[in-house]
Amino acid sequence: MQNVIKVSKDLYYLGGNDRRLALFESAFPVPRGVSYNSYLLTDEKTVLFDTVDSAVCDLFLENLEAALAGRPLDYFVIHHMEPDHSASVMRLIEKYPEATVVTNRKVEGMLKNYFPFPSERIHLVAEGDTMSVGRRSVTFVFAPMVHWPEVMMSYIPEDGILFSADAFGTFGALSGAIFADQVQFERDFLDDARRYYFNIVGKYGVQVQSVLKKAAGLDLRLVCPLHGPVWRENFSFLLKKYDLWSKYLPEEKGVAVFYASVYGHTMNAAEILAGAIAKQGVFVKVYDVSHTHVSELLSEAFRYSHAVFCSTTYNNGIFITMEDFLRDLKAHNYQNRKYAIVENGSWSPQAGAYMQAELAAMKNLTQIGEKVTLLSAVKEDSAAALTALADEIAKDVNS
Ligand code: FEO
């Protein structure tokens, strides 16, 4: 049975939720599920904006048929070819043979890579092109690398509607309410939105900035992303977050302490350090990198102004999960932060030097204090060194 939701005059939400998916993109846990959004505009012409993941394709096709209410589908706009939005493309064009596929040349190439796609169905558009669909028009705004090279967005100037592709999306299924102003977004979605941003498009801050500059010139009254809630009020809240995130600037002053510990001694050092930081009124959060998923570690590292990396030495190097985490930070352009190092080793502590080398290869990171070295358990001298390091970190956060 269809479940079509009206978004605004002549605009309908046709998407669905997947709450059974374990890993989005086979990489990111989505314990609160994820939504795949698709929209239909019913002007003098009917225009479909994107399809959905195969998990919700049947529902989507029912929704589309119901929303069309017997009308033909005139245009089908493809913004992004990642299969969470394009997996249903062939079923769609076979069901609606009259529909013209409106997209760009890069999408066309990818369509043919994925499917035996008929070229004669495609109408190519370029950046800034406008297509009349009746009382309204659709303008195409290219957004390369947000999050793939072929990505574009569509803008309807008459209603101030932006179909923003992956941008401004979030993990988390929609629970009946599809608008951000119907949910407590900051409480219930912001952490997932941040984790989505940094893991999915965080590497492409420069390209996101370029899109934000284009968006700044638009009258935005309704923002319709491909995942998560639709924005019709207070969109500046998320826009400001995107501006900070894409400039790689900290969202909050505070310290994220990340530790990798095998038998608990490095954890003990991390807890002592965190306690000494907190005692000085500075916000601090502690993460076991072997327990917390790396997608959350990455998001939290970008969230705060300061980080501490604590690792035991393992196979004469960095402990496995910390090494993975540091590699992920580098891959996502971690930068503009202050950090400190704590290392442990029962006979030859070396993790610190290796962690420093990894962090030195990243952009604009500044080390605070000297690295603290433990030989197995924390003792009086290392506890004093941790307290001294905490003082330096707290002073820097408060400066
Ligand atoms: Fe939601 Fe890049 O796909």
Dist. CA 209–CA 211, nearest whole Å: 5
We find that the CATH architecture of domain 252-398 is 3-Layer(aba) Sandwich (3.40)
Per the omega criterion (within 30 degrees of 0), is the bond before 79 cis?
Answer: no
Mean pLDDT of 114-125: 96
Residue 230 per-residue DSSP state: B
- pLDDT score for 152: 98
Does the beta carbon of 150 sit less than 6 angstroms from any atom of ligand 1? no
Average pLDDT over residues 35-52: 98
Specify burial of residue 375 (Cβ count, 10 A radius: 0-12, 13-18, 19+). middle
Distance 284 CA to ligand 1 centre (A): 32
Is 358 touching ligand 1 by the criterion CB < 6 Å?
A: no
d(CA 139, CA 154): 6
**Strand segments (E) across 90-241:** 100-103, 122-124, 130-132, 137-142, 152-156, 161-163, 222-224
Ligand 1 atom nearest the C-alpha of 151 is 2
Task: Tell me the pLDDT of the chain averaged across its residues.
Answer: 97
Nearest CA owner, ligand 1 atom 3: 82
Flag whether the pTM goes above 0.85.
Answer: yes
Distance between Cα 137 and ligand 1 center (Å)? 25
CA-CA distance, 322 to 308, in Å (whole number)?
12
pLDDT of residue 327 exceeding 90, the answer is yes
What pLDDT, on a 0 to 100 scale, did the predictor assign at position 36? 98
Q: 332 CB less than 6 Å from ligand 1?
A: no
**May I ask the CATH architecture of the domain 5-246?**
4-Layer Sandwich (3.60)
Q: Does any ligand 1 atom lie closer than 6 A to the CB of residue 136?
A: no
* Extents of the domains making up the chain: 5-246, 252-398
pLDDT tens track for 139-173: 999 999 998 999 999 999 999 999 999 999 999 99
What does the pLDDT look like over 344-380, one tens digit per residue? 999 999 999 999 999 999 999 999 999 999 999 999 9
